[in-house]
Structures are given as C-alpha cells and as structure tokens.
C-alpha cells in the first residue's frame, strides 16, 4: 500500500497517504522503547536506502503506528506529553539509525508546539485529535528566491465566502508523507499565519524533487498551491508568537540538535567498528592491529569525550525546557531556554561534522569504498546542519553571557 501511495503522490492529482491507526503511548519509557524498536528496524537497510534514494515509507508508517507522532501532545488533549529530555533522546535514537527518518517528522514536533501556543481551543481539539488518530503533519514554510527565510510570497486571500491560498514552497520536509500540510502565508493584513491544508485538496500538489547530496530520503522538495480553498477554522494566527515570549524556536532547535547528535553517535560507532574489524595499522605504529595505534586510540577517546559532552548539553537543554514550560514564560525564561538549546546545537553540529570526517582518517582508505557508504554520515551531517548557521549561535550565546542581550525571537534560536 505504501508504494502505491507513493506512486499516486507523483501525479498531478494529490492523494493523501494511507491513514493507519496509531497507538497512544503513555509514558516516557514507552516512547523510548518505541524509538529503539524503530531504530532497530531502520538501521538494517539505512545505507542502501541512502544509496538508492528509496523513501522510508514503511518506517514512517511504523513511526506513526507506534504512537511516536503524538508524544508531545499535551495530556489535557489525550497525549502523553513526554518530557523534552525524552523527546530529544527519541529523535537522537532514531537519527542514529537513519537521520533522514529522524528529520521527516521533526517539523511535526515544532508545529504541535505552535498549536499549543497559539491555536484556539477548537483548533487544538481538532488538530491534536487527528494526530492521535494517526494523521501526520508536513511542513510548507520556506520559499526560494526570497530575501530571507522570513520573507513570504504565499498569500491567503478572500474569494467570495471562502479563503484561498496560493504560493510555492521548498524544503518542505514531511509534506510528501503527510495528511496535513502546514502552510505559512501572509493574510490580507500582511501578517504571517499558518493554514492546515488536507492532502488531496484541489489545487495542492506535492513534488518529490529534493536533490540534496545528504539527507537524501527526506523528500524535502516542493509544495505547489494554486488557489487552494482552505477552512478558515484551520488558520492559526502564528504572528502572535512574535508578540509574547515563547519557546517555539527552542523546541524546534532541540530536535535539530538531537538529529545531529544521532549522526555523530553512529559515525563514531561505525569508526570504532571499522578500525577494529577492517582497517590496517600504519607501518610506523609497529602494531598488529589498527586499534592498537596510540594516535587512533587517542582520537577515539577525544571523540567519545565530546560525544558525552554533547549528550550532556542536550539533556541539560531538555531539562531547561521542561522547567521553563512548567510556568508562565517571561522574556528571561524564554532567553534561558534559547541559550541552553543553542549551546547544545553548537556542539552537536560541530561533533557530527568532525566525527563523520574523522571516521575516514582513522579507518583508512578502504572505508571510502562505495559498498560501505560510510560517506553518508558526513553528507547527512553537512546538509542537516545547514538549517541555520552555528556562527550566529556563538554570537547569541556570547552577547547573552557578556552583555545580557536577549536572543532574537524566531524559530532558529
């Protein structure tokens, strides 16, 4: 059924993916176990999927059926509302096995948090209920050819008694696999809103044209909207986020950091395995095994130390988000959350790139052979870490610590 759904999605007539019943997880431990089970299934053919650019339909469906798609939904709406510490670890576990599989639902987490923060009670009830039933949410926010990522050309306009939306989106991660597409656009007042469009709505088309050299199976391509009629009850005033302190950016960035951490974990694991089992020692080391080379040993030790540091910072960031979200959020609390997550994101970004490059230096030339596809770790790290520049996180952290300047209020800090 998955392949059939995928084939339909390539045609001009948009067709929603198969809707599958979803389990509702109740505890953090259940969520972590579901993530481990999914990772076990994903790891087996992750390298082959990357080589063949084969989309992980069955794994996304397992993600949904397991209940992982709803773990951040508030308890008052029937969700488990796991801790942010657990949420981050769930994505790190999945992304170690296959970071493309981790990235596909990452926007759903951020969008669910936006719903919690800004939607009306009736909007929350409908959207949360649908996700608990197995609906997936895809992203249609960024656009190409604009001044910056906040500059939107897509518009929602009135057409007699209805609202219609038109525009073209790119980097639409999750859209191909989704039942709802969350579209960012400007309303008639020029304010940014988010409209939830049902798959299969006339005028909507999802195009699988993602060609990035990393994260190859995320299908992060184009969404086309041509006078798509939308339900005005499902248009969220996302502009309200900019008017009050919030943790929207922190939540989104926490998942980004978790994905990068997962990439680093797997790159280090594969480096250790290759050094132990396949690579030859350098002639000047005068050892029988590459794993006895003192310089290789030292580098693996450094990587493990930095991995543990990145894991600790990610856990700390999750704890800060748990603390901040448990009380009314003021400007100082929001800033504290942003900075904690930024620190974790800096280290996870740099470690994912370092570990995936060091793998080849330590394992040697044979590690570069295509049959191992170990270069996918670096390609995935390089592409995923391009979402937002770490140099600006250093700046945000530095000016906060030095001058007490609060970070910007958007989704990238």
The per-residue DSSP string of 340-378 comes to HHHHHHHHHHHHHHHHHHHHHHHH-GGGG-TTT-THHHH
The proportion of the chain whose per-residue pLDDT surpasses 70, expressed as a percent, equals 97
Strand partners, 50: none
Give the per-residue pLDDT at 151. Answer: 86
Over the chain, what is the mean pLDDT?
Answer: 95
Tell me the average pLDDT across 123-129.
98
Phi and psi of 92, rounded to 5°? -70, -40
Band of the pLDDT at 148, cuts 50, 70, 90?
Answer: confident
H or E element, residue 193: strand 192-198
Structural domain boundaries in the chain? 28-136, 155-238, 244-403
Q: Give the model confidence (pLDDT) of 188-222 as tens digits.
A: 999 999 999 999 999 999 999 999 999 999 999 99
Average pLDDT over residues 27-38: 98
- How large is the average pLDDT for residues 343-367? 98
Task: Convert the pLDDT of each residue in 60-117 to its tens digit.
Answer: 999 999 999 999 999 999 999 999 999 999 999 999 999 999 999 999 999 999 999 9
The CATH label, of 1.10.240.10, 2.60.200.30, 1.10.540.10, 3.30.390.50, for the domain at 28-136 is: 1.10.540.10
Strand, helix or coil for residue 236 = strand
User: At the top level of CATH, which class does the domain 155-238 belong to?
Assistant: mainly beta
Whether the predicted model's global pTM rises above the 0.75 cut: yes
At residue 235 the predicted structure's pLDDT band, cuts being 50, 70 and 90, is very high
Rounded CA separation 307/265 (Å): 7
On whether the 244-403 domain is CATH 1.20.140.10, my answer is yes
Please give the average per-residue pLDDT across 24-42, as a whole number: 98
Q: What is the percent of the chain where pLDDT is above 90?
A: 92
CA-based angle 187:193:199, to the nearest 5? Answer: 105
């Amino acid at each position: 059924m998955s392949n059939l759904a995928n084939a339909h999605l390539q045609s001009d007539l948009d067709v929603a993916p198969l809707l599958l019943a979803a389990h509702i997880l109740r505890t953090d431990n259940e969520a972590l176990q579901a993530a481990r089970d999914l990772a076990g299934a994903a790891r087996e053919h992750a390298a082959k999927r990357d080589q063949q650019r084969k989309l992980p339909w069955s794994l996304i469906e397992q993600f949904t059926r397991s209940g992982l798609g709803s773990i951040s939904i508030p308890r008052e709406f029937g969700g488990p509302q796991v801790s942010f510490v657990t949420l981050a670890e769930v994505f790190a576990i999945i992304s170690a096995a296959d970071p493309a599989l981790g990235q596909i639902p990452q926007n759903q987490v951020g969008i669910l948090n936006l719903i919690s923060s800004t939607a009306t009670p009736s909007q929350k009830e409908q959207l949360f209920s649908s996700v608990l039933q197995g609906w997936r949410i895809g992203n249609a926010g960024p656009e190409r050819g604009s001044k910056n990522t906040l500059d939107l050309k897509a518009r929602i306009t009135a057409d007699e008694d209805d609202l219609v939306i038109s525009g073209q989106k790119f980097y639409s991660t999750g859209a191909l696999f989704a039942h709802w597409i969350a579209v960012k656009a400007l309303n008639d007042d020029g304010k940014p809103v988010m409209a939830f469009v049902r798959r299969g709505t006339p005028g909507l088309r999802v195009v699988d044209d993602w060609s990035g050299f990393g994260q190859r199976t995320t299908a992060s391509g184009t969404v086309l909207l041509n006078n798509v009629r939308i339900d005005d009850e499902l248009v969220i005033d996302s502009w309200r986020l900019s008017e009050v302190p919030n943790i929207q950016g922190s939540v989104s960035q926490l998942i980004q950091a978790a994905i990068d951490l997962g990439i680093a974990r797997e790159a280090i694991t594969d480096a250790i395995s290759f050094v132990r089992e396949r690579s030859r020692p350098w002639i000047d080391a005068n050892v029988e095994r590459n794993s006895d080379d003192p310089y290789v040993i030292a580098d693996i030790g450094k990587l493990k130390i930095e991995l543990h540091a990145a894991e600790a910072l990610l856990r700390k960031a999750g704890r800060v988000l748990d603390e901040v979200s448990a009380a009314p959020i003021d400007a100082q609390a929001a800033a504290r959350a942003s900075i904690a997550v930024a620190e974790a994101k800096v280290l996870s970004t740099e470690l994912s790139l370092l570990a995936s490059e060091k793998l080849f230096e330590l394992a040697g030339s044979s590690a570069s052979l295509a049959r191992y596809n170990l270069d996918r770790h670096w390609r995935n790290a390089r592409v995923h870490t391009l979402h937002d520049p770490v140099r600006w996180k250093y700046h945000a952290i530095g000016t906060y610590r030095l001058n007490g300047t609060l970070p910007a209020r958007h989704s990238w800090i």
